[in-house]
A and B are shown apart, each in its own frame.
Chain A
Amino acid sequence: MSNVDTLLAKYKIDRPPENVLRLGKLIQGAFASNVQEIAAIIKADPALSARVMKVATRGRDIDMDMDSAVARIGVHQITLVVLTELLLHAVTKTFATMLSLVLEAKDVPNAGAAAVTGCIRFEGQANGRVFLRIPCGAAAAVVPRFLGQELPMAPAELLPDVVGEILNIVGGNFKSNLVDAGLSCSLSVPQVNTRSGFSADAGDDEHHLSLSLGAEGIGLFLDLIISPLANQLNAQK
């Protein structure tokens, strides 16, 4: 039993799921592995396989094997997809535990409508930012679920604080997965505002992946932007 496993057992903390650990190892080794090795790890995870295929085929109905898909999209895009899986794990866990909502990938209408938008940055051996957007119209459904008590003020007034805290928890969880994968980084304090017509403003050298999720009539949007990891990983060696 490793030292970390001993501590997890001592404090009765669940070990991260196997797929999260596997993805962490994939990020760690992505730049030192060949296409076949990366493809083999991805194939062991159905959700990740589906997402890699979707990115490689750009959503079109093309017959492609995993080796070709990995070779086609390249290691930076693979890293983005893997980090997105780790982020998704953190988001779904947070919503299931704190709001009793089982989120699924879903098309959410009115992506440009007014939404409370939170942004958190991670910096270190992995660099990027995460955006979480919850439409203002969902406040009445989201806020009481999160606070689970009589509210001191209208849900709409509390939504920015709730989005900030959800993002804080999601960010912390995501960061812990990165650190356990060997990518040490720190988190910024979440910045939250209310706006319409979101634009992520990804730079030329950055990679951006956007998702919409929903459950029980509540929809939300998630964006992950990452800077290339190669330099940091090479410097680490």
Chain B
Amino acid sequence: MSKKILTVDDSKMVRMIVTSTFQPFDCVVVGAADGAEGVEVALAERPDIIFLDITMPVLNGIETLAKIRATPEIAAIPVVMLTAESDGQRIGMADQLKVSGYIPKPFKGEQLIELTKGIIPLALKAAPPKAAPAPPKPQLPKLPLPNR
């Protein structure tokens, strides 16, 4: 069954990179541009995993994580922090809120895949079935050329 991944990041670029990273896998990536929108999308889409930035407008990543954990319908969804803020204080706050992983930016797509595979099953997309070979064109009988 196809998995659903939510990326919450105010950077369109990061959302694009996350989407492109999981493109070979049987999953759907949905995005949100700030923490408040992230909670709304999580409630509507019920993703299997959430990648969450910290520095965002409206609701920052730590506040968003606290809200997710306090909302029973989505409280159990695994959350991985994907953020440039990787000082001891921030990691400690995220740890208190039971994150499943912490990836400091800059990051490589392989890190996202490896960590995700350890949290939810991830399968490659099935190769599209090979198209049946086109039927041979009907051969017209060779007729003698008229003499002109």
A interface residue numbers (CB < 8 A to B)? 3-4, 7-8, 10-11, 13, 93-94, 96-98, 146-149, 158, 161-162, 164-165, 168-173, 175-177, 179-180, 187, 189
Contacts and interface: CB of A to CB of B under 8 A. Distances in A.
Contact of B105 (A3, A164, A169, A189): A169
Interface in B1-33: 11-14, 16-17, 20, 23
Which 5 pairs show the lowest CB-CB distances between chains A and B?
Answer: A172-B84, A4-B88, A97-B106, A179-B87, A11-B102
Contacts, number: 87
Contacts of B90: 176
Nearest to A93: B106
Contact of B55 (A94, A164, A172): A172
A222 to B, nearest CB: 16
Interface in B99-125: 101-102, 104-109
A13 B105 CA distance: 11
Given A148-B17, A172-B83, 7 more contacts: A7-B91, A148-B20, A161-B11, A171-B84, A175-B87, A176-B90, A179-B87
A107 to B, nearest CB: 26
B20 A147 contact: yes
A187 B55 contact: yes
26 contacts: A3-B92, A4-B88, A4-B92, A7-B91, A10-B95, A11-B95, A13-B86, A13-B104, A94-B106, A96-B106, A98-B106, A98-B107, A147-B17, A149-B23, A161-B13, A164-B13, A165-B14, A169-B84, A171-B84, A175-B85, A175-B87, A176-B86, A176-B104, A179-B87, A179-B89, A180-B88
